[in-house]
Chain A
């Protein structure tokens, strides 16, 4: 039996571009145009003044599911969430929401800088829809989650931005609506706290709550949302299982740093340079998300303008906090394939073997240089991309701590 929590039918939202550019209309203009309009036949809307942020969007979401909304900037993701969370009304179409609705479109909604942390928890909780008794009951838990210690009675204007984010998210994490809309709010805050929030959200989803989640972080989408809706220019491009939709979207979206491919501007003066870096899955697809049990390849497009003896490349795989977990030089392979590379364009690949890195998010740093005594004008593109590894083939899975996902050999023998 289907139990529908959200049902949207033909939702569309039109903005008048003139209105957006100059939101503070002037009274005289409005009065004047209402006068002139009565002398004209009809005020036909000029299509160039309009912008459809959302066009005829229909979908259904069953109770208890967690759905990701993906798409480029301006695809209508935030507009959709704003309509569903009743902040703005659709131009046409309708939606039904079955259950208590909560939304989290920014961290720290309603915070007032003059009020203390304690006071802001009360205020923000109330604005987000909590009852007074509910806030009182969860107050200690919220404070513990925010982890701001003795600053709780200090005005939040004296907080660091990190502390403000922690406090804001702590309030939000304890919301208990049946339907929750979350915009890209995890992009702020430090990595450890992000992970904590994702964990909290997993917990939330596990309790039968319906969640719709906008993110540009494809790792978060695939981890958290079994299903996704892909919006493109205000329309639904595709919807279905995230494991199918996300790779399609990633291929389509092309060269975003977080999407597995980055292009680097060329410079005539360099004798050798990296012009493109891609992260490839074991099957050769450009894909910033991989499996621990598959290999992952970092591919560089190298442009050589002069034959350079002693040229080599190196790369580092780093944690988001810049800890290097893996480093490799092209000289690790004997002979160094880049040494004296001929003039022209070359594809250089380096493959991380299966079951080496642990599950998690990694940044990729690449560099071209020469061995001692061979100085020339080459190129350091620095961090050029990131990827996420999941471990879905073992029992421990993504919960595996540590730096490695290497499988050790376990065996038993008869004890004597």
Chain B
């Protein structure tokens, strides 16, 4: 007998001592149940998504992976020729091209990851409506492929430092931490936007503007010393302030921007955690509205 007539056949030993996993559908989960264990169990899929993005990104292009450095290098040249001529725009003792490039490299990682993550759900509409997997994998894996671009750009940054004769101190060990904060921030904001994008395609138009405005609101091409002291705390609430100042401190030396880093890291974690909660909440209707 395969199909019982309704639910009245409920037997006490229903699951029958089976050892496999049990999935319960329709049971509401708690606000802070983020399903991270499930995410971890499907980490291989994340690897495949990243692998796919890398395979596709530079297919049928002439310059291939060189595009990973073309953009920050060109921006660096433009800013050096324009903004770089202004007085006090960069800190004393650091050549402006190096200063700008050391800001543009982490910024490019951040902005590309943010844009990638916020489009990740809509771009995957085809599979979201056809197969289940933890949806959070999508914004997470969207970030992965840009890390490779980042590594390539870092090599160019290293060459630039050699050219200007700037040697990093032991502070360089902190570099991965600042990179991580940049990624967590991009993921946090990107995950928020990815979830909103499913329902409101306004996000598609808002994101390019957001990224552009955010760049000028962050110390990418100018030093945060330009901001008056009494406004520094507000400025630090932008997580990228701490990231960029910290990143440059770890590579090029100078004053260690302690408070800036703490405030920024805290803001970053807050955005990230809230995005996970919101995403889990919105996830329930993704397949119906995407």
Contact = CB atoms under 8 A, between A and B. Distances in A.
Nearest to B9: A60
A55 to B, nearest CB: 14
A115 interface: yes
Nearest to B11: A2
Interface stretch (A102-110, A296-304, A342-350, A378-386): A102-110
Interface string A56-86: 0011111101110000000000000011111
Contacts of B126: 110
Contact of B132 (A24, A86, A226): A86
Interface residues of A, number: 68
Interface residues of B, number: 50
A3 interface: yes
A86 B129 CA distance: 10
B288 to A, nearest CB: 6
A117 interface: no
Contacts of B131: 85, 87, 103, 105, 109-110, 127-129
B202 A27 contact: yes
Contact of A239 (B5, B48, B133): B5
A7 B16 contact: no
Contacts of B130: 87, 105-106, 109
Contact of B2 (A24, A27, A61, A131): A61
Interface in B199-232: 199-202
A227 B3 contact: yes
A83 B202 CA distance: 29
Interface string B185-201: 00000000000000111
A110 B16 contact: no
Contact of B25 (A30, A95, A227): A95
Contacts of A126: 44-45, 48
Contact of A1 (B9, B16, B22, B48): B16
B45 A226 contact: no
B92 interface: no
A226 to B, nearest CB: 6
A127 B133 contact: yes
Contacts of A3: 16, 18
Interface string B110-145: 000000000000000011111111000000000000
A119 B131 CA distance: 19
B25 A127 contact: no
A83 B284 CA distance: 11
A329 B134 CA distance: 61
Contacts of B27: 94
B52 interface: yes
A47 B131 CA distance: 30
A19 B289 contact: yes
Interface in A5-26: 7, 9-11, 15, 19, 23-26
A105 B131 CA distance: 7
Nearest to B196: A27
- Residue among B13, B60, B289, B290 with the highest chain A CB neighbour number at 10 A: B289
B14 interface: yes
B165 interface: no
Contacts of B45: 126-127
A89 B26 contact: yes
A114 interface: yes
Contacts of A109: 127, 130-131
Interface string B17-58: 010111111110000000000000000110110011001100
Contact of A119 (B2, B24, B55): B55
B7 A9 contact: yes
A144 B246 CA distance: 54
B62 interface: no
Contact of B26 (A4, A95, A123, A129): A95
A226 B288 CA distance: 32
Contact of B48 (A23, A27, A86, A127): A127
A353 interface: no
Nearest to A7: B14
Nearest to A20: B288
A4 B132 contact: no
Nearest to A236: B6
Q: Which 6 A-B pairs have the closest CB atoms?
A: A65-B2, A94-B26, A3-B16, A86-B132, A227-B2, A126-B48
22 contacts: A1-B13, A2-B1, A2-B16, A3-B16, A4-B14, A15-B288, A19-B288, A26-B200, A27-B202, A30-B200, A59-B6, A62-B1, A66-B2, A89-B285, A95-B24, A96-B22, A97-B22, A115-B52, A127-B131, A127-B133, A132-B48, A229-B3
Given A2-B9, A94-B24, 7 more contacts: A4-B16, A58-B7, A65-B3, A85-B132, A95-B24, A99-B18, A132-B47
Interface of A: 1-4, 7, 9-11, 15, 19, 23-27, 30, 58-63, 65-67, 82-90, 92-101, 103, 105-106, 109-110, 112, 114-115, 119, 122-123, 126-129, 131-132, 178, 226-229, 239-240
